[in-house]
Amino acid sequence: MQASLGGQVRTQGYVAQLDGLCGRDTRDLEQVLGYGEGRLAGGYTLLLLADVVGPGEFEFRGMTHFPGGVPVGESRTTDASLKASLSQVAADRGRFDTMKANEARRIFVSTGPKRIAKIMPLRPGSDYPAGKGIAQWEIMVPKLFFVACKVGAGERIYRRPNDTIYAAARLESYR
C-alpha cells in the first residue's frame, strides 16, 4: 500500500476500534491484534475508515483471540455462528439482517475513540497467532480509508480530544 499521509486508500480486511489501539507500543499491538512477533517492529500505517459500511459489507469476527474469526474448537466464524443461532426457523431469518443493519450503524462511526481503524504493517508476513482479545470485524469489500498516521519503530499512536491522531515515542520519567 503506497499512500501519503493525509491521502486516501481503498482497502478491505480486518479492522478494530481506535481506542483499543492507542497508547500501545508495537510489541503490545502485535500481541493484542494477533500479528506474528516482529511484524510491526519496522512500523506501520494507521488508516481510519472514511466510508459508509453497509450490513452486507462486513462480517463479525468476534475478538482478536479468534484467528480468522473462528473461536478455538469451533468450525465456523463468529458471523456464521450468529447467523445460524438467529435464523434457526424461517420466521427468524430477518432477525440476523436487522441486527446486522443496527450493528453497522453503531460500529462504523467516523469520529471519536470508537471509530474504525486499520493497521497496515510495513513488513510483510503471514503469521497470525491468537491475539489478546479486542473486538474485530472484517470489511469484505474495498472501502475508503484516510491515511491518518505513519508510525515508526518505538512509537505509539495517540488520539487528541479534537480527534487528531499523532505518533510519538513514549517518554519515560526518571527520578
pLDDT in tens, 37-57: 999 999 999 999 999 999 999
Q: pLDDT-based confidence at 175, cuts 50/70/90?
A: very low
Give the per-residue pLDDT at 96.
76
* DSSP string across 144-164: EEEEEEEE-TTEEEEE-TTS-
Domain map (residue ranges) of the chain = 8-169
Give the per-residue pLDDT at 16.
93
Helices (H), the chain: 26-33, 78-86, 93-107
* Spatial CB neighbours of 10, under 8 Å, sequence gap ≥ 6: 142, 143, 144, 145
Q: pLDDT-based confidence at 18, cuts 50/70/90?
A: very high
Average pLDDT for 51-72:
80
SS3 state at 36: coil
Is the pLDDT reported for residue 13 higher than 60? Answer: yes
Average pLDDT for 65-87:
68
Alpha-carbon distance of 108 to 102, in angstroms, equals 10
Is the pLDDT reported for residue 86 higher than 90? Answer: no
Give the per-residue pLDDT at 174.
45
The helix, strand and coil proportions of the chain, stated in percent and rounded to the nearest 5, come to: 25, 30, 45
